Structure 1
Amino acid sequence: MHEQIIDALKEQYPRDLRKQVVKSILRNEKSDDKEALKSSYNILNKIFSYIMSELNWSISNNTNDWDETPLKILIEVFPKIETTKWFKDQQLSVSKSIKLEGHFN
């Protein structure tokens, strides 16, 4: 299943485009252009949502047995994505959700 998602994303987004997406995000994170950054983040949010949807994955279903598969798929498809603030924010969001979920169980 993971390979199918990876292959589908690589087919839809050629290597040069995937590299350009990451470069744009990194550049926009350093600039003051909030609109460009928002646009870049929207692209990644849609891709990330697609991955989670294809995996039938949600934070609430994975809090006890944390699985980083959606983020690992992004790393596989988008070189250097893990260097972006967007990626770090995703990791932080998930980490906070897991900790909060643990307090309510």
Structure 2
Amino acid sequence: MSSIYYYLAGFLFTLGLLGTIFKKDLISILLCLELMMGGVSLLIILFSRSTGLLDAQLLVFFMIIVSACEVAIGLSLIIALHRKKQTIYTDDIKIITE
């Protein structure tokens, strides 16, 4: 199997990690977390195909389900926060002090 897929998985994870660190609005951070999850899922699929075990593909299927639930809950929390604070930027939100 070509190693380009391993580089792609690493690139997706790194891009998501950098976006999570440097982005300032919550929707972009949530999308970057999903990008990281996609990189991890791709890497698990690649290891599954290289070892010949199909159990990891079932794990990735459940990861996709959990990821969809994560997006739904995350977006609902972001909408609730936007209704209360009128912003979604992390610099403007101080939840702990209030």
- Compute the TM-score of the two structures, normalised by the length of structure 1: 0.37
Structure showing greater Rg:
2
Query: Relative contact order (alpha carbons < 8 A, sep ≥ 6): 1 or 2 greater?
Result: 1
